[in-house]
Amino acid sequence: MNVIHLPPRNRRDPLDAAIALHGPRYVLMAAMRAMLRPRARPPDTTPPVKVDHISDHIRRDIGLMPRGPAPDWTRHPF
């Protein structure tokens, strides 16, 4: 097998390079802004809400189409 052994990188090298290039105050302020920046919310994984049982006037209030025509109350089977 071909194995390439790389020397371990020092994790401070990029930080030291940024401080040398931009100055410590700018790097500190950029790090603080990055820590305080709001993170993106993960996608919502909750199952969709079933709205079959909601009455037509509530469905209309939230922007849904009515379920259909109301049943004729005079043709009740009793």
Percentage of the chain lying above the pLDDT 90 cut: 26
Across 70-76, average pLDDT: 72
- CA–CA separation, 52 vs 59, rounded Å? 9
Q: Is a pLDDT exceeding 80 seen at residue 71?
A: no
pLDDT in tens, 20-43: 999 999 999 999 999 999 888 888
